[in-house]
Amino acid sequence: MEILNPAEFTRKLGLETLEKTLKKEDGGISLRIGFPMERANDEHRLCLTPGGASVLVANGHEVFMERKAGAGARFADNQYSEAGVIMCDSAKEVFSKSECIVKVAPPVPEELDFMEQGQILLSAIHLGNADKTYFETLIRKGITGIGFEFISLTDGSHPIVRMMHEITGSMSMQIAAHYLESYSKGHGIMLGGISGIPPATVVILGAGIIAEYAARTALGYGAQVFVMDNDLSRLRHLENSLNRRIITTMANQQYLSTAAKAADVLIGAAMVEGHRAPCWITEQMVETMKPGSVIVDTVIDQGGCIATSRPTRHTNPVFVQHDVIHYCVPNIPAGVARTSTYALNNVIVPFLLEVGDEGGFNRALWSNHSLRSGTYVYKKNLTKKSLSRFFDIPYRDVEMLIASRI
């Protein structure tokens, strides 16, 4: 009988991520795409796997990558070079050789200096940490900015955001379970309890993708799960998709106050795509929570939905306030960098291929809904009304800019 190791087993059963070489259509162009090393705090993810790189190269695109950019996700330089990637010795070299820069986190100030007139930037924005200077720099340099948070399909879904939210939701419960333990100075209880001992009470704010995957994981542990939102249709949808194994309530002040007092774990997942997160839990509510209970604010990168939250890092992820443990790391998926890299690759590589096939970014804006929806800076103009209101910068609609050929 043949004995397979795990890698061989997954290969034979077709469980590995499958890469497919796509044929370039007539009228397509070759793109010069750069992947610098991530320099944001504790960021180990990348937007490209070696398999994804081989697909881009096979379709005629030039791919440039800074050495050791994939190390955090356990991808070696030689894996990329063997796939046809041109390895560069510095971020500055990557920026100078590329027309399109693809990153996970938004550029740090040093990287903004490297960006050249007319380049395309594809990355997250992290609205909770963004400042006016960032957008003004992109506008001044004539950069075309495309944000992960804004890229949507015709059905209104956000594919990149969804991928990361699925990971974030699942990870949030693993994190909460750990910090409930006595050695983590938590309440000293198990999420699922045991025979004769009731499970922990988990309260989830919001009924979106993060909430769904947090609820699925919490139910898997055996916890009692409450989900709160101010959108009844979202609550109904989530309740039905989880076979009514959760308890749903409207997120009004009375229910929020009661839930905070009862919660062993409070997961902050209330958000509106493309906007700062709404603050639902006040500091007074946090003061009433059980000593040793745990808050995981998964939308801290959008500003957070709990008044006492403030950003932390993977290297120092928690702080205690009002005797409640707060975990507020903005980039939770970076803790599973390899899984996250595969997830990002699976969305971004087909996106880049489609842009190349349509003749480049400027031409693709005419026909590609996802590209238009994701664009927040174009032709030296801010193109998102929500950003204009928050940062007090004038904006022009991207479709008007395209139509006027400015």
- Residues recognised as catalytic: 126, 301
Joined together, the tokens standing for residue 227 give 């989900």
* Backbone region of residue 188 per phi and psi (left: phi > 0; alpha: psi in -120 to 50; beta: other values): left
CB 209 within 8 A of CB 227: no
Question: CB atoms < 10 A from the CB of 214, how many?
Answer: 29
Interstrand relation of 381-382 and 375-378 (parallel, antiparallel or unpaired): antiparallel
Question: CB atoms < 10 A from the CB of 361, how many?
Answer: 22
Joined together, the tokens standing for residue 66 give 């800074």
Closest CA to 32 of 69, 67, 61, 66: 61
Residue 302 carries which DSSP code? Answer: G
CB 111 within 8 A of CB 143: no
CA distance 294 to 308: 12
